[in-house]
Amino acid sequence: MITKDTLTEAADRIARVPRAHFIDGAFTTAGGDAGTIALINPANEASLGTIPSGTPAHVDAAVAAARRALPGWAGRTPADRAEVLHALADVVDANVDLLAAIEAINGGKPLAAASDEIPVVSDSLRFMAGAARTAQAPAAGQYAEGHLSYVRREPVGVVGAITPWNYPLMMAAWKIAPVLAAGNTMVLKPSQLTPLTTLVLMELAADILPAGVLNVVLGTGSIVGDAMSHHPGIDMMALTGSVRSGQSVAEAAAATVKRVHLELGGKAPVVIFDDADLDSAVETLAVAGYVNAGQECGAATRVICHEDVHDEFVAKLVRAAEALTIGDPAEGESIELGPVISAAQRDRIAAMVDRARRDGAKVLTGGQVPDRAGYFYPPTVITDVAAGSEMAREEVFGPVISVERFTTESEAIAKANDVVYGLAASVWTADPGRMLRAVEQLDFGTVWANSHLAVATEMPWVGFGHSGYGRDNGTYALDDYTRTKHVMLAMGAARD
């Protein structure tokens, strides 16, 4: 549990954490920088200091270290690598509250939400540590006359990974765990807005990971991210972020024919049929739509509701939204909704809601930037959203739930699928047949029935369409960071 004392300890740690790249097993600021980047607590706009803005020279140094470390790390047995990842998970578990408190301060996250994220980090490390030891392949055998075939699963090489600000350490772990478990080495660039937990992880990992296995370069996407994507010494790029950033990475990576792993944005529809348990749906959506201030790629932000239960559902949702306690997470566990990450993000959300209003949508609650310090936006419910409009189709990435109506099952599915994204969706009904039909027809990488936003480390998290195609979690992630080599041994004829 995060107490006032933990928050004080976290503030102290933030002041002391090295503001430097982590290359070849040590923090360094050698090689100059492209200026500094300011870090800000979004709940009160207080300065959290600065970080150096890295350059292509830092990427060169990090890649060189990762390449040097590759043969040693790839050559270890999966069990040896697993021990290292378990040791890393142990130090994360020993620092759960501290890491969660730093995440809360740097990202404006309510304490309970931040506390839920860190155990996922260690769980991911432990799962991948074990999964790498059980990797499956076809049985060795004679598939061509006189030849024995078998498959070697090998690491891809040096992986470049780029993470977003909405779940900084959790998204880093979803890369670090499978990448390292599979025997790759890596260069990681955290979001320039939320690098602090990644830096603390490197402090904790310095004595655990061999030098060069995991390197961190701080900086912007346009300089450091771009240099990584173009770098001939990086074999594969993995990014969790916006569609635009994913497209940039894929374009740049094409020049050196790198493998690319993309986890991008979403606009998750929530289809509510007339037989749905509305209380259960509202209770879930008040969390799944507003958690992390709606800055969640699978957020339940777009409800498509049967016309017969529309008004009742909307009334319940508005009550639930208005019951949320908003404030600076540092005020304690009672705060359920914190600020969004930046002034720019808040203004983007406000502008989208204003455009929806102009398009004829009705804002039933929220919809106004409050007059207070911090980048707050209230939980908002919007109805009468025109099908095909920006609010119906584009990711808001804020605490805004929009509601559309439908009459027939096929209309509901068509509306739900009318987005370029394909990350996540949910369907709410008591009819098992309708549930199975909807699950089959919804064009999204995760589909929940009578639930939303539950995630399991063992199961894949993957998008379709513009949400990308990289698979996080499960043995699927491990496969994505491995290459398969077919070995054929000529057996010759028996010498009788």
Report the residue from 22, 165, 313, 444 that binds ligand NAD according to the rule CB under 6 A.
165
List Cα–Cα distances, 105 to 11, 14, 200, 379, 449, in angstroms: 8, 9, 14, 20, 34
By CB under 6 A, tell whether 164 contacts ligand NAD: yes
CA dihedral sign, ordered 407, 409, 413, 414: negative
Q: Comparing C-alpha atoms, which of 226, 217, 231 is closest to residue 247?
A: 226
Report the residue from 95, 248, 446, 475 that binds ligand NAD according to the rule CB under 6 A.
248
Helix (H, G, I), strand (E, B) or coil at 454: coil
Helix (H, G, I), strand (E, B) or coil at 196: helix
By CB under 6 A, tell whether 263 contacts ligand NAD: yes
Is 199 buried (19+), middle (13-18) or exposed (0-12) by CB count in 10 A? buried
Are residues 415 and 425 in contact, defined by beta-carbon separation less than 8 angstroms?
no
By CB under 6 A, tell whether 359 contacts ligand NAD: no
Helix (H, G, I), strand (E, B) or coil at 401: strand
Q: Give the residue at shortest CB distance from ligand NAD.
A: 221
Q: Which residues are catalytic?
A: 263, 297
Which residues in 341-353 are b (16+ Cβ under 10 Å) and which e?
Answer: beeebbebbbebb
Instruction: Kindly tell me which of 200 and 412 has the beta carbon lying closer to ligand NAD.
Output: 200
By CB under 6 A, tell whether 166 contacts ligand NAD: yes
Kindly state the number of chain residues that form the binding site for ligand NAD, as judged by CB under 6 A: 33
By CB under 6 A, tell whether 423 contacts ligand NAD: yes
Closest distance of CB 163 from ligand NAD, Å: 6
Instruction: Kindly tell me which of 183 and 463 has the beta carbon lying closer to ligand NAD.
Output: 463
Instruction: Kindly tell me which of 82 and 217 has the beta carbon lying closer to ligand NAD.
Output: 217
Stretches 32-40, 45-53, 100-108, 236-244: which one binds ligand NAD (CB under 6 A)?
236-244
Taking CA 28 as the corner, what is the angle to CA 26 and CA 34, rounded to the nearest 5 degrees? 150
By CB under 6 A, tell whether 474 contacts ligand NAD: no
CA dihedral sign, ordered 13, 18, 19, 21: negative
Closest distance of CB 381 from ligand NAD, Å: 21
Report the residue from 157, 265, 366, 374 that binds ligand NAD according to the rule CB under 6 A.
265
Is 338 buried (19+), middle (13-18) or exposed (0-12) by CB count in 10 A? buried
Closest distance of CB 124 from ligand NAD, Å: 13
Instruction: Kindly tell me which of 242 and 441 has the beta carbon lying closer to ligand NAD.
Output: 242
Report the residue from 25, 160, 221, 465 that binds ligand NAD according to the rule CB under 6 A.
221
Summarize as ranges the residues that interact with ligand NAD (CB under 6 A): 162-166, 171, 189, 191-192, 220-222, 225-226, 229, 239-242, 245, 248-249, 263-266, 297, 395, 397, 423, 461, 463, 467
